[in-house]
Amino acid sequence: MEEQKKPEQPGKPEQPAFYFDAIAKIKIAEDNMSAKIHVHSAPLKSHEITSAEIIALAQEHKIPDERIDFATIQQYVKRVNQAIKEKKQLPEEIVFPVANGVPAQPGIDGWKKFYFPISKKVNITDSGKADFRNIDKFVHVKKNEKVLSLFEGKAGEKGFDVFGKPVSPPSIIREKMTVGNNIAVKSVPWAGHEGLEVKEFYTAIDGAIDLSETMVSVSPDLVIGTNVGLATGNINYDGDVQVKGVIEEGAVLRCTGNLTVGGTIESGELIVGKNLYAKGGIRTKAKGKLKVAGDAEAKFLENSWLEVDGSLFLHGAIINSKVYCLHDIKLDSDSGSISGSEIHCFGNIEAKNLGAVSEAPLHIELGHHFKNDRSFKLVSENLKTVEHELEDLFPKIEKIKQVIKRGGAIDAAKKKEFMEVFQQYKEKEAIRHKLLEKQEELKEHRYNSDPVRIVCKGTTYPNVTINWKSYTSKSLTNELNYVLKFIPGQPEPFRTPFSG
């Protein structure tokens, strides 16, 4: 028996199913800081919308509740539904915000205000001339003088995008200052900036101030009115030292500040924490090493070993010496010749003559950073040692792998032994990785990446060798008045006449 169809009931035609997500779409701003819903209004003529539908759609887009703007959604839902009830004309597309991020709040850059001149480097002009008068050698201060005002900076506050992900504020300039000896610091309110403080730095004693961009300290001067030698004993002083006489052969002097010598330096046992100023020359009979962390200035250098981290300025000659300099070397007089020596200079060299009539050999390494080169060699040696140690562990590792592969029970003592071997290997491999990174870093910093030059105002005699990276030249005849400019990336230096 066939199933009879039910007769259609008269009345309104059946309405199609209504799916809100089919007519609505949430669009996120490019910066993820806001979200808006776009609703096609045509199907809404007979259907109202609900806040729940919109919130559910926002949640489907992974927008957390704390970022959803419930109040705005309710306001627009009420407004749209009222228009539907009143059969008002709706725009083709209804758009309103459903979620908002919280913008990150910018911070305040730090700043410094100096009340005394900061330490200056030697000014080397394009012509190769050095002006040492621009250095404030010693600035004396009285107790309780204000040295510096410092605002370290205030970091901004992070925000959140519509997905609740953090939004970092713009970075700020942070200012720091290392507080050295004999400096007092107090915090005071920053006028016009509620809740913020400025640090003020004051001197705690009378003395010589050492002020740079990153550090401030005050040192009382040590003044020695005689020679440094048997009468005074060795000197080890935390601060500046002034010697009125000579530093005698065999004397040991170490200071963390500046050293000023009225006579000649005859001892190679000197370590100077800042700048060296010798009114006489330096003649140590090739004994010991002078080490200067700042600039060095003297009348001449003879039969000595000198390492200077700043610039070297001489009023006479360099004879039979070894010089390692991390800035510029300047010889300013007609007797300012370099002969019979080994020179490693990271910066520029300027002299009257290079070499000697006797053709005593002179070797110059230009643009060479001796400290980074030493560190590179040390790291390379350490790397070889670690790699040898790893090679010694390889057979043990392989043996352990074979034991594990064969299976079977392994007693506790063996397990402990195996774990110790694996741990040794892991630790040495980590050391090897760090050494490789350091080696690669130092490899690129052994030579100056900026242009450097040699200025010869007089004569370059035969037997003068100049090295710059892979470039080597050796003078065979007299060469007069020239400037050699070495530019990274160029295989040969540019040679121009010197015009004093």
Is residue 334 domain-shared with residue 478, that is, in the same domain? yes
Is residue 24 domain-shared with residue 79, that is, in the same domain? yes
Is residue 348 domain-shared with residue 302, that is, in the same domain? yes
* Across 402-415, average pLDDT: 79
Q: Is residue 377 part of a domain?
A: no
What is residue 125's predicted lDDT score, i.e. its pLDDT? 45
Is residue 74 domain-shared with residue 93, that is, in the same domain? yes
- Residue 8 confidence (pLDDT) above 80: no
Are the C-beta atoms of 117 and 147 separated by less than 8 Å?
Answer: no
Give the Cα-Cα-Cα angle 441, 294, 469 (nearest 5 degrees).
Answer: 40
Q: Which of 176, 197, 219 is the last residue of a domain?
A: 219
Higher pLDDT among residues 421 and 140, named by residue = 421
pLDDT tens string 186-206: 999 999 999 999 999 999 998
* Across 14-25, average pLDDT: 69
Is residue 131 domain-shared with residue 59, that is, in the same domain? no
What is residue 357's predicted lDDT score, i.e. its pLDDT? 93
The residues, any chain, with a CB within 8 Å of residue 235's CB and separated by 6 or more, are 222, 224, 228, 241, 251, 252, 253, 254, 255
DSSP secondary structure code for residue 156 in this structure: -
DSSP secondary structure code for residue 108 in this structure: B
CA–CA distance, 85 with 210 (Å, rounded to integer): 81
What is residue 500's predicted lDDT score, i.e. its pLDDT? 67
**Angle separating helix axes 412-444 and 370-406, nearest 10 degrees:** 150
pLDDT tens string 51-84: 999 999 999 999 999 999 999 999 999 999 998 8
Is residue 287 domain-shared with residue 197, that is, in the same domain? no
- Residue 403 confidence (pLDDT) above 90: no
Is residue 337 domain-shared with residue 468, that is, in the same domain? yes
Range of the domain at 69: 20-100
What is residue 139's predicted lDDT score, i.e. its pLDDT? 65
- Residue 124 confidence (pLDDT) above 50: no
* Across 334-346, average pLDDT: 94
Q: Is residue 14 part of a domain?
A: no
Lowest pLDDT segment from 129-143, 145-159, 275-289, 424-438 = 129-143
* Across 451-479, average pLDDT: 93
pTM, entire model: 0.56
Is residue 195 domain-shared with residue 234, that is, in the same domain? no
Is residue 360 domain-shared with residue 462, that is, in the same domain? yes
- Residue 351 confidence (pLDDT) above 90: yes
Q: Is residue 41 part of a domain?
A: yes
DSSP secondary structure code for residue 361 in this structure: -
Closest CA to 183 of 221, 151, 222, 215: 215
Are the C-beta atoms of 411 and 403 separated by less than 8 Å?
Answer: no
The residues, any chain, with a CB within 8 Å of residue 37's CB and separated by 6 or more, are 24, 25, 26, 27, 54, 57, 58, 94, 95, 96, 97, 98
Q: Which of 193, 219, 245 is the last residue of a domain?
A: 219
Report the greatest alpha carbon distance in the chain. Answer: 136
* Across 322-329, average pLDDT: 96
> To which H or E segment does residue 95 belong?
strand 93-100
What is residue 298's predicted lDDT score, i.e. its pLDDT? 95
Is residue 288 domain-shared with residue 355, that is, in the same domain? yes
Give the count of beta carbons closer than 10 Å to the beta carbon of residue 357: 11
Closest CA to 273 of 295, 288, 289, 252: 295
Tokens 């500040």 belong to residue = 257
Which string of DSSP letters, residue by residue, matches 5-72?
A: PPPPPPSSPPPPP--HHHHEEEEE-TTSSEEEEEEE-GGGGS----HHHHHHHHHHTT--GGGB-HHH
What is residue 450's predicted lDDT score, i.e. its pLDDT? 92
Q: Is residue 488 part of a domain?
A: yes
Q: Is residue 28 part of a domain?
A: yes
Q: How sure is the predictor about 417, in pLDDT bands with cuts at 50, 70 and 90?
A: confident
What is residue 119's predicted lDDT score, i.e. its pLDDT? 59
Is residue 342 domain-shared with residue 395, that is, in the same domain? no
Is residue 282 domain-shared with residue 413, that is, in the same domain? no
Closest CA to 484 of 448, 451, 455: 455
CA–CA distance, 104 with 22 (Å, rounded to integer): 35
Q: Is residue 460 part of a domain?
A: yes
What is residue 18's predicted lDDT score, i.e. its pLDDT? 55
Q: Is residue 11 part of a domain?
A: no
Give the Cα-Cα-Cα angle 173, 179, 182 (nearest 5 degrees).
Answer: 150
Distances (CA, A) of 22 to 38, 44, 53, 288: 11, 12, 11, 88
Q: Which of 58, 81, 100 is the last residue of a domain?
A: 100
Q: Is residue 106 part of a domain?
A: no
Percent of the chain past pLDDT 70, that is, above it, reads 92
* Domain tally, the chain: 4
What is residue 128's predicted lDDT score, i.e. its pLDDT? 42
